[in-house]
Structure 1
Amino acid sequence: MNSPISKIGLDGRDFYVKRDDLIDPYLAGNKYRKLYTLLNTPSNRLKTIISYGGTQSNAMLAIAAMCQKKSWEFIYYTKPISKAIQNENSGNFFHSKRLGMLHVEIEHEYYRDFIASLRLNLDEETFIIDQGGAVEEARCGLEVLAHEIRESGLHVNSLATPSGTGTTALFLALCLPEYNIYTTPCVGDVEYLRSQMRALCELPTNLIILEPKRKYHFAKPHVELLHVWQKLLTTKIEFDLIYAPSMWMALLEQTKEDILYIHSGGVSGNESMLERYKQKGLI
């Protein structure tokens, strides 16, 4: 079933929101789209899924949920993490472990080389998902999303989605050449984002990267981002606290036309992020 589209008002403007956050509590948003091919892969074709990245990753949680549904082993590699994170009883890392994820820490000095070696001597029943779900297989799920957008009959010419690796924005732009696709970097700067996307293919001309007016350290509490998130709550839709505020800030500051925002999901991580804001005395 197609995810619905909601209309919201924000700062005197109308926006539309593609409610991919409603697809599934854990397998929602752009991670559902990126994992679409694997979700439709017969369970007996694979045994193990391997991925890597940070402990606040929405992709990590979505992969854990998928692997539980498929009865696949899920191994997730990170750099060493603190005892506080290990002992958290909320947030993406906690829920991923509850879903059966096997977490393995790799020392900082060995991490890059270890990740680079993961594909050596892989067997046919093991599949690697790069950080953030940045794999060519993600294109299929985004083609489904593109079809839903075209079939919606919504008369807008611009879409928006925030970027980590940029996979969602890139494949949406390729699948929907008649639309402007806005995105903004939430991890690293504009050049980092372009390099991540160019590792998959050349950037299409309808992909528009909005450069933030200020750089915010990824996944760290910032009062400006909190204020944007709190403003978004007045629309009666909950957005994630890590990616969405940066994208909405850029849209409000740098665009004027009607826009369909693709909800990326990720709201399961808000519980632990709000706790960090409280610890910083920002709430």
Structure 2
Amino acid sequence: MQNSSISSIILDGREFLIKRDDLIDRYLAGNKYRKLYTLLQTPSQNFKKIISYGGTQSNAMLAIAAMCKQKSWEFIYYTKPLSDTQKEQKNGNFYEALSLGMQHQEIADELYKDFIASLRVNLDEKTFIIDQGGAVVEAEIGLRVLAREIQEQKEILNQHNITALATPSGTGTTALFLALSLPEYTVYTTPCVGDVEYLKTQMLALVDELPQNLKILAPKKKYHFAKPYKEFYELYEKTKDAGIEFDLLYAPQMWQTLLEQTKENVLYIHSGGVTGNSSMLSRYEKKFNVT
């Protein structure tokens, strides 16, 4: 596969370069392609079933569903109980993942934590578990490939005096392994799920120590993941008007912290996830009467 391209946009008078991982594939794009890289290279006969869990807005869920369809693997996805509205939606990541063959199972709130903890008990060799958000150590290989691409495109980065990279974080897997692979760059991220301490805990489950070049930017305001905020919609519109569509779950908070807390020239790693925008935009329309 060819390296994903690099584009540029102007926001608030600043130029940002964008690593267009969103263009790799409709479903298997962005950081989810990188995290699933090792499994995508795995012969189909090695596994029969993939298990994962998390939220129904998850970009990882949809990417795993697409991979399993491609590999002819059974895919079982566990969530907490869904609302009737979520079950009836005819667009968005959950609907598309079901259409790709995902088997969905709901677990009661009070049982969920213990149930997830028990998934690896008596696991057979043909079943593989992908933790929420694709947070697995195998992701490091795919992110090394991304780091190698960035090094191969260094001439472009040098022409624009790029000294930092940026990518939003759920579990922090992408930001962590990028920082480890590219110590010559500052790597900015911000916690979109939970706070800074939660994000550090997730990262330290994969490594013993966080690299010095990894900088976690704390949002100035507390945001709840996947909840619509007017300022996030405005940032979504601003970046779209600048020429590139980003996801509505993670990207707005990353752009907000970058614009507020950094000054240097940045390469933003587009983490994909725009397939989920249709369902998120419906929520924004209902709450803020935007079109």
> Which deviates further from its counterpart, 230-239 or 262-271?
230-239
Report percent identity of matched pairs.
69
Equivalent-residue separation in structure 2 for 1:141 and 1:166 (angstroms): 14
User: 2:230·2:288 contact (CA, 8 Å) conserved in 1?
Assistant: no
Matches within 5 A, 1:115-264: 115-152=116-153, 153=155, 154-155=157-158, 156-201=162-207, 202-264=209-271
User: 1:163·1:186 contact (CA, 8 Å) conserved in 2?
Assistant: yes
Cα distance, 1:220 vs structure 2: 0.8
Letter in structure 2 aligned against 1:264:
S
Cα distance, 1:282 vs structure 2: 3.9
Cα distance, 1:85 vs structure 2: 0.5
Aligned to 2:5: 4
Aligned to 1:108: 109
User: 1:51·1:77 contact (CA, 8 Å) conserved in 2?
Assistant: yes
List per-residue Cα deviations over 1:150-202 (Å, max 9, x = no partner). 00022222000000000000010111111100000000111111111111112
Q: Secondary structure at the match of 1:234?
A: helix
Aligned to 2:59: 58
Equivalent-residue separation in structure 2 for 1:175 and 1:258 (angstroms): 19
Equivalent-residue separation in structure 2 for 1:27 and 1:215 (angstroms): 30
TM-score by length of 1: 0.99
Detail structure 1 runs of 4+ shifted over 4 Å in the superposition.
none
Cα distance, 1:17 vs structure 2: 0.2
Equivalent-residue separation in structure 1 for 2:31 and 2:288 (angstroms): 31
TM-score by length of 2: 0.96
Equivalent-residue separation in structure 1 for 2:126 and 2:146 (angstroms): 28
Q: Secondary structure at the match of 1:135?
A: coil
Letter in structure 1 aligned against 2:173:
T
Which runs of no fewer than 5 residues in structure 1 stay unpaired?
Answer: none
Equivalent-residue separation in structure 2 for 1:99 and 1:62 (angstroms): 10
The reply to whether residue 26 of structure 1 matches residue 27 of structure 2 is: yes
Letter in structure 2 aligned against 1:57:
S
Equivalent-residue separation in structure 1 for 2:110 and 2:141 (angstroms): 36
Letter in structure 2 aligned against 1:8:
I
Equivalent-residue separation in structure 2 for 1:66 and 1:34 (angstroms): 12
Q: Tell me how many residue pairs correspond in the alignment.
A: 283
Letter in structure 2 aligned against 1:199:
A
Which runs of no fewer than 5 residues in structure 2 stay unpaired?
Answer: none
Cα distance, 1:144 vs structure 2: 0.2
User: 2:186·2:215 contact (CA, 8 Å) conserved in 1?
Assistant: yes
The reply to whether residue 47 of structure 1 matches residue 51 of structure 2 is: no
